[in-house]
Amino acid sequence: MGKAFLPSTLLSFFFLWFLLLVFLTKIECTVTYDAKSIVINGQRRILISGSIHYPRSTPEKAKDGGVDVIQTYVLWNGHEPSPGNYNFQGRYDLVRFLKTVHKAGLYAHLRIGVFYEPQGGPIILSQACMNHDCFSIENEYGPESKAFGFSGHNYMDWDGKMVVGMQTGVPWVMCKEEDASDPVINTCNGVYCDAFTPNQPYRPKMLTEAWSGWKTMQLCDHLEKREWRRS
């Protein structure tokens, strides 16, 4: 384990979940949590997040829809369509998008990359390990953590301490990780989160991904194919 060769790579598979206030103007903001909710400047907030990708929509539209937090991937396939050819203009003006989020009175959850979602990762990882010190990542590591037993627990503990040591000033969460250590918040990713409880009583209950429509679509597609085979 060592340093990352790009800051975005080090952060790539962590969900810096909510409240990355990455606006160019300085914002004084205190973000903590208790057993009931996230606490922003001393006030409890129930945050409703929605994915609005900046080349496709606007924060004003999201605010009309009732969300508090705008989540977006950084769409590197549009920002660097070919090696060394960068594009941050027009609908790909990420800085302008974040400023607009701020002006609309919303928060930003920025999923930095290395590409978007998990795509592109293995290629970058192989290049990094050939040419640089290897680095560690985490993305819904829970099932793998259980498989590795004590070593998996130690890895997740190290992971949590490493990201907290970055001193970003906002809480971190781990998705689909029951073993998250203090002060990282463990959250629910899935379909049935109504019975979910955090692994410590002083942490808020948080749902980071609601597997709803797209999971239903996958199930319907599976059942349709099964019925087709029977016929």
Environment class of 58 (CB within 10 Å of its CB; exposed 0-12, middle 13-18, buried 19+): middle
3-state SS assignment for residue 84: coil
Lowest mean pLDDT among 50-54, 110-114, 145-149, 205-209: 110-114
Domain ranges of the chain: 7-230
Active site residues: 140, 209
- pLDDT tens digits for 41-71? 999 998 888 887 888 777 667 677 788 888 8
Q: How many CB atoms lie within 10 A of CB 5?
A: 17
Q: Does domain 7-230 have CATH number 1.10.3470?
A: no
pTM, 2 dp: 0.64
User: What pLDDT sits at residue 37?
Assistant: 92
Q: How many CB atoms lie within 10 A of CB 14?
A: 20
Classify the phi-psi angles of 134: left when phi > 0, otherwise alpha if psi is within -120 to 50, otherwise beta: beta
- pLDDT tens digits for 174-197? 877 887 888 889 888 877 788 889
